[in-house]
Chains A and B, each alone.
Chain A
Amino acid sequence: MIIARKKPVEEIITEIDPYDRILILGCNECVTVCEAGGKKEVEILASALTLHYQARGKAKTFGKATLERQCDREYLEEIRGRIHNYDAVLSLACGVGVQFAAETYTATPLLPGVDTVCLGANEERGLWTERCQACGSCVLARTGGICPVSRCAKRVMNGPCGGSANGKCELGPDTDCAWQLIIDRLKALGRLEDYEQVAPIKDWSTDRAGGPRTITREDIQL
């Protein structure tokens, strides 16, 4: 899932300050699950911003809406009838949603209300960790299901670098060495021979390094 983090409310206040009528637009998917931009966060933010401005005697209107997804045009259409009531939209979706909303409603300034951080997993309530960087050609089959692209700071492909010590990355004691995890896992699976094989040079053109990516699926394009 896409993991986002709420922006500090002071930053949001600075963003929205020039506008009088602001639509706070949540998203029902990833950002709801990671509790950064769902219906509940929309309600709390609208209430906090209302308090902030009313306490200063400023009249601002905060509209609220939460769409099923902001990365699908059909759901974005749901606000077409009311978008003209607002001077700006504060979107609590991930960066994809914010941009798609901005592309759909070109006459209205779109502001991000969250920081989009990574593709991650929910370890426990309030704790998410990165697991994938969408490199576009997955190597998990030969790495025991542990991703060296997202979990190794150097993205090395053939075993740990010289900084690996006691299972930890040289980044610090909070970061496991991905390659230590991979080797331990391959050992447990009895597949250490996978580790012995030198990996071919990774084709990074499918990664972000190759420029913005487009996925075309002719089989489903009717």
Chain B
Amino acid sequence: MSEKFEPRIVGFCCKYCAYAAADLAGSMRLSYPSNIKIIQVPCTGRIDVIHVLRALEEGADGVMIAGCLEGECHFLEGNLKARSRIDRIKHLLKKIGMDPDRVEMFNLSSAMGPRFAEIASQMTEQIQALGPTPIPRSCTPASETAA
């Protein structure tokens, strides 16, 4: 494998800040790595442990969660709840032998287009350094759906 590893990263972005910041980065014609596939969420507080695990299970090399600046959550403290959930997910990843750095949370405001470009690059580099996910790409989740 001589070509450069291009990570596939799922980015859960809050509608009120990170998603808007990504939009702004676009309007400002800033260039940033296209590795992050953005999923808009109403608030990072909506993101549950299972959403992050499922993304990894389905072959994401990394998962990025981006919410409002602390103290400025549109829903008051959704981002703080997300932060502690992400901490717990990292803890769980460590216990099951996955690198906790595959999951990272960032905070930014809707006016921070350049910052979005920056965290997109930072996250991409972080995952590039870790290398591809140990989860086989071809795999569909081995856990079957509940009957």
Contacts and interface: CB of A to CB of B under 8 A. Distances in A.
A55 interface: yes
A49 B135 CA distance: 12
A55 B95 contact: no
Nearest to A78: B147
A42 B53 CA distance: 13
Contacts, number: 74
Contacts of A63: 143-144
A50 B88 CA distance: 18
A143 interface: no
Given A44-B50, A63-B144, A54 B96 contact: no
A1 B42 CA distance: 34
* Best-buried of A43, A54, A60 by chain B (most CB within 10 Å): A54
Contacts of B142: 50, 53-54, 59-62
A9 B96 contact: yes
Given A51-B135, A55-B134, A64 B96 contact: no
Interface residues of B, number: 25
Interface string B50-73: 100110110000000000000000
A42 B95 CA distance: 17
Nearest to B92: A48
A47 B135 contact: no
Give the bracket for the number of chain A residues in contact with chain B: 20 to 34
A106 to B, nearest CB: 22
B49 interface: yes
Interface string A3-14: 000001110010
B2 interface: no
A56 interface: yes
A28 B85 CA distance: 23
Contacts of A48: 53, 92, 96
A84 interface: no
A9 B92 CA distance: 8
B111 to A, nearest CB: 34
A51 B147 contact: no
A46 B139 CA distance: 15
Contacts of B56: 51
Interface string A93-123: 0000000000000000000000000000000
Interface of B: 48-50, 53-54, 56-57, 92-93, 95-98, 133-136, 139, 141-147
Interface of A: 8-10, 13, 39-40, 42-44, 46-57, 59-66, 82
11 contacts: A10-B95, A44-B53, A47-B54, A49-B96, A51-B135, A55-B97, A55-B98, A61-B143, A61-B144, A64-B144, A64-B145
